[in-house]
Structure 1
Amino acid sequence: MDRTSGDRTSGDRTSGDGTAAARWEQALAAWGIPEHILARAPQSPWIHPVALFVATGQEPDTPSHRAAREVLPAGGTVLDVGCGGGRAAFALTPPAARVVGVDHQQSMLDSFGAAAAERGVEHVEVLGDWPDVAAVTPEADVVVSHHVAYNVAALAPFGLALSAKARRRVVLELPVRHPLSRMAPLWQRFWDLDRPLGPTARDAADVLREAGLAVRLDEWDDPAPPREAAVDPAEQVRYTRVRLCLPADRDPEVAAALAELGPPGPRRLATISWDV
């Protein structure tokens, strides 16, 4: 594990002028899909299949879970922002006895609520985008937000709103590099489109430090198998094709491209945490 709290060389960070927040926003904007490609998409490419986010109860212990657990009191409350099916929250029950899930997708909240009921855990669900729904979201001992940061252009307000709801600690988890980086060869193959290299988890930490948060950054290798391994291969092809803005009749080509790409390897992840 690589724990960092001070400076890194410029080669580890997204370059450019302006504040860390501005560089982060610009780097994320570069991931946008050009209009001429979006115009040909049969449906929105911004999909998040629920099957990839279901809490199975088999998730391994990680630095992110340990960072949250070490300050979580017995019977405490966890707020999970961008909760999906609740993988981050339910890794903390026990010691937590109450979980609050926030997500903008109702199907994710349905999965979250069902998982809480199965575990006999008190639960609350809040539908909407963060921090828009912060005012109607309960406080918690620990606030977690896993695999959300790369969807957030305004990361500083996002992080500050998390802090405002935490009584003890905030824990973010994210890949060291953009989670769609693996698809870069596919974009090149089907659309002759180059994808960006940044931003990175260290850029995210820079933004949050710039906002006045005393963050810690840990980088580590994910011990869990890739989420895609649990999904039917035909479904993998389907959601990859949708994300590539291609019609259904291109499924055989997408399947061949995924076979050539090979199975995803171990992910390098990061935990960004701070006390409040």
Structure 2
Amino acid sequence: MKTAIMTDTNSSITRSTAEKLGIYVIHMPVIIEETTFYENDTITEEEFFCALSGNKRITTSQPSPGDVMDLWDQILAEGYEELVYIPMSSGLSNSCAAAIGYSQDYDGKVEVVDNHRISVTMYESVLHAREMSLNGASAKEIKAALESDAYNSSIYITVNTLEYLKKGGRITPAAALIGTVLSIKPILTIQGEKLDSFAKARGSMKRAEEKMILAIQSDLEKRFADQDMAKLHIGAAGAGLTPEQQEEWLALLLNKFPEADVFYSPLSASISVHTGPGAVGIGISFR
């Protein structure tokens, strides 16, 4: 490839996966009690959820300018003519806008994609970029293709507890208390920008999962009716799920969408810190 592909860990792509794909990944900072760790690098998924469940004070941040540009310099020094950087959605973080600013010093050799995606749909964008690069596309062509396709995706997430939405200020303590008493599971959505409320399910997580599946089916019938269903990719996601829970969620989606390419990928720390452990999600995109 003459054009390198780089993303961040909000795509759920780990270092080992990146090495297999021949791409690059920058690890997002996770701050726990004033100590900075790097997702899937200096802190494991298990350690992150242990801290999250242990009521540690946790925040996430964008990568430092030095870390981003050092990796860009390393990539270009390895012989690539240019590179494409795919960070998380500009609607969810300032990291994309910041990277666009840094790229001005690279004489057109660095293209930053504002793809308006995160998690499983962002993962698919990275694979799309890699395919285009392998086929000889330039950085500008890859950026244009990904940005034109940005909103042909959809994500729904439901949480197992309201505690973390309360901590993040997304719901009031009173609403969290009432919701817990009534056993309400909120369903959240990302349609290219921010994490927004979509619906509520009363009772078990199973009911919330059923509502998310119905929402995806509705999107496929209405919003994406003109898309080629042969290119449909469905990502099952979860926050700190056990292997058994992952298999169960994946199997359910495989059964509901037998025509699609269905895969599992964990939710990133940037999302999980707001949803808490036990959250499950589903995302669709076309490639």
TM-score band, normalised by shorter chain? 0.3 to 0.5
Structure with higher RCO (Cα < 8 A, 6+ apart): 1
Select the structure that is richer in strand. Answer: 2
The TM-score, its normalising length taken from structure 1, stands at 0.35
The TM-score, its normalising length taken from structure 2, stands at 0.34
